[in-house]
Structure 1
């Protein structure tokens, strides 16, 4: 029996797929033309459309925090637009890299093995039962402060 997920369920499944490096989990919820608007500062392979780009983002995130996970707090849909409020947690296990337009690393925040907890809101556009667009509002400054990247002046 085939079940059809609601737009909200598809968006939540896309968030939870980021916890996995299983290509099928990403394919099952990501449209071949999907765009991740947050990938502009990620490695080039994260910027390709569709499941391969979303999986590349998951790999990049797992390189930064291998135990990364998202707790879904709330999700709401209106038409094809879905907003998902989350708490992201993890422990930095590798450098966090920021990439320029050509894909080169323009900043690398070294790991000090610290944990982080930060709130995020992810926005999705869903078409034909699959994510076609993603963008987010994140507290990167709060995360960076918890991880020791920023602090009071010496």
Structure 2
């Protein structure tokens, strides 16, 4: 197997474990100094380096989206750089909390029970058989529309405000 093929396989596996991987899977694939350059709205423990951060991001997504899965469409690798075109799918069953730069609760999307399928492009840098950098472009607006987050109804805005208040209280505990 070529180095380029191996890099592509590592990148794909690192996406798939977001849906169902154990912590040990992250330790095996994610370099201790790896950076997820796209986790700007996730919880603070997902904004640091290494496998623990990637696992924290996976737990955050899994907590809100039941049946989280990724369908891989295309993988293009050039040496240690890999691009993966995929679709993330799931059902919104629990509050999805986004956080501000300072780690405080920013927005809370109460569960809608709706399903979504959002396209994503992931970019990776692979070194020594491990992910060391990750970037992504996601169709967040498409996901938000499918889940009924936008345009929000007055009733959903009320539910969002109530959920945000609860989330802020939970953080203080």
TM category, shorter: over 0.9
Supply the distance in 2 between the matched residues of 1:144 and 1:101 (Cα, whole angstroms).
21
> Does residue 84 of structure 2 align to residue 84 of structure 1?
yes
- Secondary structure of 2:40's aligned partner: helix
* Structure 2 residue aligned with 1:50: 50
Q: Structure 1 length as normaliser, TM-score?
A: 0.93
- Secondary structure of 2:39's aligned partner: helix
Indicate the RMSD between aligned Cα atoms, in angstroms.
1.6
The size of the alignment, in residue pairs, is: 151
Supply the distance in 1 between the matched residues of 2:88 and 2:19 (Cα, whole angstroms).
10
- Secondary structure of 1:131's aligned partner: strand
* Structure 2 portions without partners, runs of 5+: 155-173
Q: Between Structure 1 and Structure 2, which shows a larger proportion of helix residues?
A: 2
* Structure 1 portions without partners, runs of 5+: none
Greater C-alpha Rg: 2
> Does residue 148 of structure 2 align to residue 148 of structure 1?
yes
C-alpha displacement of 1:97:
1.6
Q: Is the 8 A contact 1:21 1:59 kept in 2?
A: no
1:21-69 deviation digits (Å, cap 9, x = unpaired): 5101111110010000111211000012110000000000001103111
